[in-house]
Structure formats: C-alpha cells, structure tokens
Amino acid sequence: MTATTRSADDVRLGIGKVLERLREEFPDLTLSKIRYLESQGLVRPGRSASGYRQFVQSDLTRLVWVLRQQREHFLPLRVIREILDRAGGVAPPPESEVRGSETRDDQERMVGSVSMTLEELAATLGVVADVVARLEHHGLVVAQSAGRTSVYDESALLAARLAVRLLSLGLDVRHLRMYLIAAQREAGVLEQLLVARVASGDSASRESAQHDLEEVVETGSRLHHLLLRRSLTGLNR
C-alpha cells in the first residue's frame, strides 16, 4: 500500500496534462479556470525549479471534488473553500457531495450571504462571463448596486443556476424570457388581487395576505407544472 501510494503521489503533472485528464468529465474546463481555482486557494499545486505548476494525485482529487460541487450544488467558491478548510484540505468523501448534512447546511447558510462579482458568479457556474452578461441583459439575472460596482446575491445565483441548466438542455437565452414574462404577468395579477389586503393597514390582514400569497405561488407552480406536462403529452407518444 505504501509503495503504491507513494508512486501515485510522486507522479507530477503539468497543468496541460491535468486539463487533459479532467476534460472527459468536465468538457468545458479551461486552463484559466484551473488557474482561477488556484488563485482562490482551492488547489495548491507545487512548483518545479523553473516555476511550472506540478500537480499530484491529491491535487487532482481535490480539483474533481471542487468542480463537482460547482456543477451539482452550485456552492459559492467561498463556501467550498470553508468545507475544505474544515476537512483539513482533504476533499470530503463522495457521499458528502450529494447527501452529506454538512453540504446541505452550507447550502442553507449560503442564502443571505452571497455577494459575487460577475466573474465570480461565472466561475461558480462553470461558464464564461458572457453567459451571465446575456442572462442579465434579458432580465433573468439581476445585479445589486454596491457602491461603484455591481454584485450578485443568492437570488441571482439560484436564477442563474437554473438558467444555465436549461441552456445545457438545449434552450437559448431568448427562450428563457418566456419564464420571465410569464412570472411578471402572474405577479401583476396577484398584486391586483392582494394589494387591497396588504395596504389595509391591519397587520393581521397583511400577515394573512402574505401567507395566502405564498400558498398561491406554490399551488400555482404545481398547477403550471401539471398543465405543461399535459400539453406536452403528444411528444411522449
């Protein structure tokens, strides 16, 4: 065991070879993405005497874990780094990627604590910045003003996460506008129905209206899902 472990860890790969090995699972991975993950402290390859990066097997294992967390859970890099730091820099076991309570807790803690630049959001999603810019241009992702710059919060992250998934399934950004338009129309109708109760000045009425609104949104989403599936039955024949 010792000899085998030493042999695996003694194999040192340049960044090009690392990209070649990982692209089978992560076809969109680029050299710049690997360098960016290094700059964020998520992988720490050694250096040769001439300054070239040298990755060992533990570095590859860590990279794969980080990339899977981004792809499957869309955790911010900051949260991924915290998980790794708590694990002593070692990638957690595979089961924690999907079912681990620690990962779920970190996802819940992410809400209300996300503040990313466009480049950071793109890196978290595993896409180029132009994709995020296009989503924002079409109103699907909204940035928040933070002084002289713009940042993206957890709402933008989750919206972008879903949008990127739909893009990977063959939809185009312009197709995604139908979801935005439908949501805006639905919001307009609900506002007209509930505005009187919300503006009544009665705290009990406002609380009741808010509760009803949440139930309407949830029930309406389920009805929309059912009607959409029924409308698409012809494709399943």
pLDDT number for residue 146: 72
pLDDT number for residue 103: 46
b/e sequence 35-70, b meaning 16+ C-beta within 10 Å: ebbbeeebbebeeeeeeebebeeebbebbbbbbbbb
User: 21 exposed, middle or buried (CB, 10 Å; 0-12, 13-18, 19+)?
Assistant: middle
Under 8 Å between Cβ of 182 and 143: no
Give residue 157's region: left, alpha or beta (phi > 0; psi -120 to 50).
alpha
| Structural domains in the chain plus CATH codes | 1-110 (1.10.1660.10), 111-171 (1.10.1660.10), 173-236 (no CATH)
> What sign for the dihedral angle of Cα 201, 205, 211, 215?
negative
pLDDT number for residue 99: 42
Q: In terms of pLDDT, which residue wins out, 87 or 229?
A: 229
For 113-138, what is the mean pLDDT?
A: 86
pLDDT digits (tens, 9 = 90+) for 181-225: 999 999 888 888 777 666 666 677 777 777 788 888 888 888 988
pLDDT digits (tens, 9 = 90+) for 29-54: 888 889 888 888 889 999 988 889 99
For 89-117, what is the mean pLDDT?
A: 55
The model's pTM: 0.54
In the chain, % of residues over pLDDT 70: 81
> What sign for the dihedral angle of Cα 179, 185, 157, 111?
negative
pLDDT number for residue 9: 57
